[in-house]
Amino acid sequence: MRELQPIEFYFEFASPYGYFASVRVDRIAKKHGRTVLWRPIMLGVALNATGSKPNVLVPMKGEYFKRDIARCAKVMNLPFTLPKKMPMNSLSASRAFYWVNEQDTCKAKEFAAAIYHEHWGLGNDMSDIDDVARVAGAIEIDGEKLKAGCQSQMIKDKLRDITMASVDAGVFGSPFIIADEEQFWGHDRLSLLDQWLDAGHW
Q: Does 161 bind a copy of itself (CB under 8 A)?
A: no
Q: Which residue from 1, 51, 77, 130 is in contact with a copy of itself, where contact means CB under 8 A?
A: 51
- Based on the shown chain and the rule CB under 8 A, indicate whether residue 128 belongs to the binding site for a copy of itself: no
DSSP letter string, 76-96: HT------SSSS---HHHHHH
Amino acid at residue number 41: I
**Cβ 85 to a copy of itself shortest distance, Å:** 22
Distance of closest approach, residue 61 Cβ to a copy of itself, in angstroms: 5
Task: Verify binding: residue 67, a copy of itself, rule CB under 8 A.
Answer: yes
Q: CB-wise, 96 or 178, nearer to a copy of itself? A: 178
Is residue 70 at the binding interface for a copy of itself, with CB under 8 A as the rule? yes
β-pairing, 182-185 vs 7-11, is unpaired
Distance CA(147)–CA(130), nearest Å, equals: 8
Q: Check if the beta carbon of residue 17 is closer than 8 Å to that of residue 175.
A: yes
**For a copy of itself, which residue of 148, 180, 195, 198 counts as binding (CB under 8 A)?**
195
CA distance 199 to 174: 24
* Residue 5 contacts a copy of itself per CB under 8 A: no
Q: Using CB atoms within 10 A of its CB, is residue 24 exposed (0-12), middle (13-18) or buried (19+)? A: middle
Angstrom distance (rounded) from CA 156 to CA 121: 27
Closer Cβ to a copy of itself, 1 or 60, answer by number: 60
Q: Which of 6, 27, 30, 64 binds a copy of itself (CB under 8 A)?
A: 64
Nearest Cα residue to 174 out of 195, 160, 188, 164: 188
* 23 or 45: CB nearest a copy of itself: 45
Q: How far is CA 186 from the centre of its chain?
A: 11
Minimum CB separation of residue 190 from a copy of itself in Å reads 11
Is residue 106 at the binding interface for a copy of itself, with CB under 8 A as the rule?
no
Contacts to a copy of itself by CB under 8 A: 46, 49-53, 58-61, 63-64, 67-68, 70-72, 74-75, 167, 170, 172-173, 182-183, 185-186, 188-189, 192, 195, 202
